[in-house]
Amino acid sequence: MQQTEPPAGGQPDIAYPRWRSRILSIFGLLALLVVVITFATSIGSVDLPFSATLQVLVSQIPGIDVMPEAVGDMRIDDVETIVVDIRLPRVLLAGLVGAALALAGATYQGLFRNPLADPYLIGVSQGAALGAVIGFLIPVGSAAIGVGLVPMLAFVGALFSVTIVYLLARVGRAVPVTTLILAGVALGALLGAIGAYLTVTNEEIVYGIIYWLSGSFSLSKWDEVWVVLPIVGVGSVIILLFSRLLNIMQLDEEQAQQLGINVERLKLILLATATLITAAAVSFVGIIGFVGIITPHAVRLIWGADYRFLLPLSLLSGAIFLILADIVARTVASPSEIPIGIITALCGAPFFLYLLRRRAKTLF
Amino acid sequence: MKKVGLLLLSLLLSVSVLIIPAAGCMVEPETETLTKTDIRTITSTEIITETITETITETVSQFLVIDDLGREVAVPAEAMRIVSLAPSNTEILFALGLEDRVYGVTEWCDYPPEAMSKEKVGGYADVDLEKIIAINPDLILAEDLHKAEVIPALEDLGYPVLALVPHNMQEVIDSITMVGMLTGTSDTAEQITDDMSQRVQAVTDATAGLSQEDRLRVLYVVWHDPVMSVGSDTRIHELIEIAGGTNIAEIGGEGYPTLSLEEIISLNPQVIIVNTEDYEGGDASLQAILNEERLSNVDAMVNGQVYGINADLTNRPTPRIVDGLELMAQMIHPELFGAVQ
C-alpha cells in the first residue's frame, strides 16, 4: 500500500482525504468504538456511577481486581450482574449487529452496483421472519434449547430464503444481478405473506412476533454473543479480504472478467458471506432497518468510495451507530424501551440528509 | 335519533312504567310522576336498591343504559338472543344461567366449556358481521377494544351494543349486577356478586393490618420478552394490593410497562407471579423467568417464590377474578391464606 498509488474507482471533483488520513480514520473509529462501548455499559435504567462501572469492567480482566467496595445500597453481586451480564453483552451484540448490517449493506451495494441495495434486498428478512414465526408456533419451552428455537429457525429461514433466490436466479453458471434482485423481491414477498398468514391465524403469537420483528436488544445475553461473534467475525474477515476485488467490480462485470477476476465465484462468495452475517445479525434481534443502507452511504460521503476503506469504515461506523442508537432506545422512555428500528430511522435519516446536502455531487 | 327517542318515550308511556311505591302491586299509571320517572337511565355504577330492581324487571320493556364507554344504549328488557364479543362477557352470561339465550360467542370464549359449542361470531378483536346479522341479536355485549370499529359498525346495523369495561373489582361486580338486571336474572346475579363481595372482603380484612414492610414486593409478569408488567391503573394491580402486596411495576406508570432486567434486579421483588395459559407451551413466560440466570439473586428466585397463574383468572373481569385474587393472596401470604396447592 504505497502512498503514491491512487485509489481505484472514479476521482470526483471534491478532494477526499488522502490515504494516510483514511487509515488514521480506521484507527480513530476503532478507538471511538472502545470508548462508546465503555460509555454504553455505564448507562442503563439503574443509576450506577461511571467509576463503579469502569472498576467492574476492568476487574473482568483476569488477574486484576479493582471491584468497588459499595455502590449505594446495591449489592456488589447485583452491580456486577447488571454491568457484566446485562449491559455488556447487550452493547457488544449491538455493535456486532451494527457492524454486520453495515458491512453487508456496503457489500451488497458493491455487488449490485446499486445505491438502494441493503442487506434485506434478496429476502433475508422475510425468510428470517418466517423462521421466527414457525419458532413461535412450536410449543416447546424455548429455554430448553440453548440459545433458543426462534433464533435458530430464523437463521435457517434467512439462509434458506437466499439459497432459493440464488438457485432461482442462476442461469447456467452465471447469476445476473437483475434476476437476483427480482427473484429476491418475489420470494421475499411470498415468504412474507406466508409468515403474515401464519401470524394472523394464530393470534396468540401476534404479541411475541410483533416485538421480535421490531428489533430489540433487551434480554441479550452472552450465549448470543458467543454465537454471533464467530459468524460475524469470520464473515467480515472474508469480505474484507475481497475489498480490492470489489473495487474492480464497480466497473462493468465484463470488464472485470476481462481483468482476470472470476466474477461469478466472487459474487457467490460475497453474497453468501454477506447473507450469513446478516442472518446471524437478525436472528437474535429481529429486523433492524436503515443501518445497512445508510451507513455505507454516509461513509462514502465522508471518506470516498474505495472499497478497501469503505468496508472496514462501514463496519466500524455501523457498530458505533447501533450502540448509540441502542443507548437512546433504552433511556429515552425508561423504564420502557423503544424498538430500535424506530431510533435508527429517526436518527439516521436526518444525519444522512445533512451529509447529502453537504456533498450532493458525490452520491455514488 | 330524536325520532327514535320520541318513539321510545311514547312506547314507554303507553306501557306505563314507573316506580311503584309498594312492591308487588299491580302497575297503575300515576300521572303525576309519569314524566319524571318513566325512563330509567342506568349506569353500571348506579346500581341501586332491591325494591327498584324487583319492580323494574317486572314491568319495564326497555332500558336506556349508559354503558362503560359513555354510550347511551336502548336495551330491551329480557333480551332473548344475546351475542357476546368477549370471553369475559361469555363467562358472565353463562354464570347468570343464560346459556339458552346466548347465540353467538368468539373463538376465544373457552369458559365454561359449554360455551365452545356456541356459534362463533368473532375472533380476538374482529367480528363476522354476516353471522351476527343471521343471528339477529337483541343484545350484544362488547368490550373496550371494540370501540374503534366494531361498535360503530354494529350500531349502524341497528343492534343494541353494550360495552363492559370495568376498571376495578367493584366495577366488575357492578357490571355483573347490571347484566343481571338487564336480562331479568337479578337473583342469580345477586348471589354471585354477594359471594364475590364476601370473598373479596375476607381477603381485604386479612391483609388490612399488614405493615408496609409486610406488603411484599410483587412482580407480576404478563410477558417475558421484554418483561412486561402491570401499571397502576390495571385490575391486576388492584388485585396485588388487595392480596397484601406492593406492585413494583407501578413506577412504570399506567398501562403495561416493560421493565428492564436491571430494573427488576434493583427493585428486588420478593414474589414473582407469571401469566400462564392453558394450551401447550403456554408456560413459556414462566419457564423463561425461571431460567433467567441473571435474575437468580433476586429474593423471589432465591426463596422459591416464583409462581405461574392462569391468566384467565386474573385478566378476565368475571366472577372467576375472585379465584385469581385468592390464589394470588395464597402466593403472596401463604401464612395468612394457606399455601398454594
Q: What is the pLDDT of residues B289-324, one digit of tens each?
A: 998 989 999 999 999 999 999 999 999 999 999 999
What is the per-residue pLDDT for A252?
A: 79
Chain A interface residues facing chain B, Cβ-Cβ under 8 Å?
44-46, 74-75, 77-78, 81-82, 85-87, 138-144, 203-204, 207-208, 211, 216, 218-219, 221, 330, 334-337
Residue B266 domain-assigned?
Answer: yes
Residue A122 has pLDDT above 70, yes or no: yes
Residue A131 domain-assigned?
Answer: yes
Residue A16 domain-assigned?
Answer: no
What is the per-residue pLDDT for A143?
A: 44
B301 at the A interface (CB within 8 A)?
A: no
Task: Calculate how close chain B gets to A129, using CA atoms only, in Å.
Answer: 16
Residue B247 domain-assigned?
Answer: yes
Measured between CA atoms, the residue of chain A closest to residue B264 is: A46
Predicted TM-score (pTM) above 0.80 = no
Residue A1 domain-assigned?
Answer: no
> With contacts defined as CB-CB under 8 Å, which chain B residues touch A81?
265, 294, 297
CB–CB contacts below 8 A, A to B: 83
Residue A86 domain-assigned?
Answer: yes
Residue A5 domain-assigned?
Answer: no
Measured between CA atoms, the residue of chain B closest to residue A81 is: B294
Residue B2 domain-assigned?
Answer: no
Which residues span the domain enclosing A327? Answer: 24-362
What is the per-residue pLDDT for A9?
A: 55
- Tell me: do B107 and B167 sit in the same domain: yes
Length of chain B: 341
Contact B223 A139 (CB under 8 A): no
- Tell me: do B288 and B173 sit in the same domain: no
What is the per-residue pLDDT for A285?
A: 87
The total number of structural domains that make up chain A: 1
Length of chain A: 364
Contact A335 B293 (CB under 8 A): no
d(CA B294, CA B84): 43
Residue A341 domain-assigned?
Answer: yes
Residue to test with chain B: of A336, A337, A338, A340, most B Cβ within 10 A: A336
Residue B117 domain-assigned?
Answer: yes
Strands B306-310 and B223-224: unpaired
Question: Average pLDDT in the A342-361 region?
Answer: 78
Residue B182 domain-assigned?
Answer: yes
Q: Are residues B211 and B325 in contact, defined by beta-carbon separation less than 8 angstroms?
A: no
What is the per-residue pLDDT for B308?
A: 94
Residue A18 domain-assigned?
Answer: no
Instruction: Tell me the pLDDT tens digit for each residue of B322-337.
Output: 999 999 999 999 999 9
What is the per-residue pLDDT for B5?
A: 63
- Tell me: do B275 and B322 sit in the same domain: yes
> Amino acid identity of A115?
P
CATH value at residue A35: 1.10.3470.10
**Closest to A46 (Cβ–Cβ): which among B123, B263, B291?**
B263
Q: Any idea what DSSP says for residue A7? A: P
> With contacts defined as CB-CB under 8 Å, which chain B residues touch A208?
223, 225
CATH value at residue B268: 3.40.50.1980
Residue B58 domain-assigned?
Answer: no
Confidence of residue B62 (pLDDT cuts 50, 70, 90): confident
Residue B21 has pLDDT above 70, yes or no: no
- Tell me: do B122 and B216 sit in the same domain: no
Q: C-alpha cell of B178?
A: 347490571
Instruction: Tell me the pLDDT tens digit for each residue of A263-315.
Output: 888 889 999 999 999 999 999 888 898 899 889 998 998 888 899 999 999 99
Residue B33 has pLDDT above 50, yes or no: no
Side-chain-side CA neighbours of B140 within 13 Å: the count stands at: 28
Q: Are residues B94 and B183 in contact, defined by beta-carbon separation less than 8 angstroms?
A: no
d(CA A151, CA A159): 12
* Cα-based angle B272, B273, B275 (whole degrees, multiple of 5): 140
> Amino acid identity of A93?
L
- Tell me: do B231 and B117 sit in the same domain: no
> With contacts defined as CB-CB under 8 Å, which chain A residues touch B225?
208, 211, 218-219
Q: Which of B137, B159, B190 is the last residue of a domain?
A: B190
- Tell me: do B153 and B270 sit in the same domain: no
Task: Calculate how close chain A gets to B131, using CA atoms only, in Å.
Answer: 19
- Tell me: do B118 and B165 sit in the same domain: yes
Residues linked to residue A74 through DSSP beta bridges, in sequence order: A71
Which residues span the domain enclosing B84? Answer: 77-190
- Percentages of chain A per state (helix, strand, coil), in multiples of 5: 70, 0, 30
CA dihedral B259, B264, B270, B273 (to 10 degrees): 30
What's the mean pLDDT when you consider all of chain B?
Answer: 84
End-to-end CA distance of chain A, in Å?
24
Instruction: Tell me the pLDDT tens digit for each residue of A27-65.
Output: 999 999 999 999 999 998 888 888 888 888 888 888 888
Confidence of residue A68 (pLDDT cuts 50, 70, 90): confident
Of A286, A279, A297, A275, the C-alpha closest to A352 is A297
Confidence of residue B218 (pLDDT cuts 50, 70, 90): very high
Residue B56 domain-assigned?
Answer: no
- Tell me: do B235 and B328 sit in the same domain: yes
The total number of structural domains that make up chain B: 2
What is the per-residue pLDDT for B31?
A: 27
> With contacts defined as CB-CB under 8 Å, which chain A residues touch B282?
139
Contact A82 B225 (CB under 8 A): no
Question: Average pLDDT in the A314-342 region?
Answer: 88
What is the per-residue pLDDT for A345?
A: 83
Residue A9 domain-assigned?
Answer: no
Confidence of residue B17 (pLDDT cuts 50, 70, 90): very low
Q: Which of B190, B224, B255 is the last residue of a domain?
A: B190
Contact A330 B258 (CB under 8 A): no
Task: Calculate how close chain A gets to B252, using CA atoms only, in Å.
Answer: 6
Q: Show Cβ contacts of residue B278 under 8 Å, excluding neighbours closer than 6 positions.
A: B110, B310, B312
Residue to test with chain A: of B274, B278, B294, most A Cβ within 10 A: B294
Residue B103 domain-assigned?
Answer: yes
